Amino acid sequence: MTEPDLRPLALVTGASRGIGAAVARALAPGFDVLLGGRDAGALQALADELPGSRPWPVELTDTAAVAEAVGGIERLDVLVHSAGVGLLGSVAETSAGTWRRQFDVNVVAVAELTRLLLPALRAARGRVVLINSGSGLVARPGWASYAASKFALRAFADALRAEEAPHGVRVTSVHPGRVDTDMQRGVVAHEGGAYKPDAYLRPESVAGAVLLAVTAPPDAELTELVLRPAP
Ligand SMILES: NC(=O)c1ccc[n+]([C@@H]2O[C@H](COP(=O)([O-])OP(=O)(O)OC[C@H]3O[C@@H](n4cnc5c(N)ncnc54)[C@H](OP(=O)(O)O)[C@@H]3O)[C@@H](O)[C@H]2O)c1
């Protein structure tokens, strides 16, 4: 339980931009927020905007750096995994290196950070939210390695949820469709289409789903949330 004189603590990866930055803004009124990412300037700018937040800069695939960065976190109320990469391509054109990078960032780094923070999450009976994707539910042509990483992330979340239930830790997978972020710009550039921000979800809408998951009352566990851009 959080002591009454302490604000609860959240760690948001991928907070330097996109969905993670929106999640940090949504959590900031109620939480002290550690802002994960690599772009130190962007993290500091967001920290200046959000009282109680501070940069938590780390390359998530560097296991030694991550182990050092989690030092001192003894109680964690909320962990939001938003950092990710979206490397697209057909099976025919996707190299082993791309498969490894996609899984390294989207799956292995998530598993390792979660593992290292489990004692702190258990201490707070905390919430873990994983920003998954529609691609964690359906795999489309040209999206094999990304979708496979997100299917794996969903499997990880499901196992984690069952394992950690006795410790009071709740786990939610959030599956957004297309969101207006830098990643989506890269996707649309790869597909060769026109960028249509009005046709995509806003990052703030995904952040709203995260807030719903972490503020759910004790009798309710939100296991999966699926968001689609409204037609
Ligand atoms: N955009 C969409 O349409 C969409 C749809 C469904 C799901 N998602 C998922 O939502 C999540 C966030 O996506 P987004 O659109 O917000 O992406 P984004 O705008 O490209 O931002 C990606 C974030 O991840 C961080 N990051 C990437 N690799 C990292 C690494 N190795 N170590 C540390 N941080 C790393 C980046 O940090 P730096 O910039 O500081 O390097 C950045 O903050 C991803 O998991 C993505 O798969 C996105």
CATH number for position 113: 3.40.50.720
Ligand 1, atom 35: closest residue by C-alpha: 83
Hunting for tokens 């030694």 — which residue is that? 64
Is ligand 1 within 6 A of the CB of residue 176? yes
Answer yes or no: is the C-beta of 227 below 6 A from any ligand 1 atom: no
Q: Is residue 3 part of a domain?
A: no
For the chain, the domain total comes to 1
In a domain, residue 70? The reply is: yes
In a domain, 101, yes or no: yes
| Residue of minimum CA distance from atom 29 in ligand 1 | 83
Closest CA to 223 of 90, 150, 129, 125: 129
pTM score above 0.95: yes
Q: Is residue 143 part of a domain?
A: yes
C-alpha 18 – ligand 1 centre gap (Å): 7
Active-site position among 31, 56, 143, 146: 146
Nearest ligand 1 atom, CA 42: 40
The answer to whether residue 33 sits within a structural domain is: yes
Per-residue pLDDT of the chain (231 residues; tens, 9 = 90+): 545 557 999 999 999 999 999 999 999 999 999 999 999 999 999 999 999 999 999 999 999 999 999 999 999 999 999 999 999 999 999 999 999 999 999 999 999 999 999 999 999 999 999 999 999 999 999 999 999 999 999 999 999 999 999 999 999 999 999 999 999 999 999 999 999 999 999 999 999 999 999 999 989 999 999 999 999
Residue with structure tokens 């094999």? Answer: 144
Q: With CA atoms as reference, report the closest residue to 105 among 171, 185, 13.
A: 13
Question: Is 29 part of any domain?
Answer: yes
Q: Which domain holds residue 28?
A: 9-227
One-letter amino acid at 29 equals P
Q: Within a domain: residue 2?
A: no
Which amino acid, one-letter code, is at 114?
T
84 lines ligand 1 (CB under 6 A): yes
Kindly state if the Cβ of 16 falls inside 6 Å of ligand 1: yes
Query: Is 195 one of the catalytic residues?
Result: no
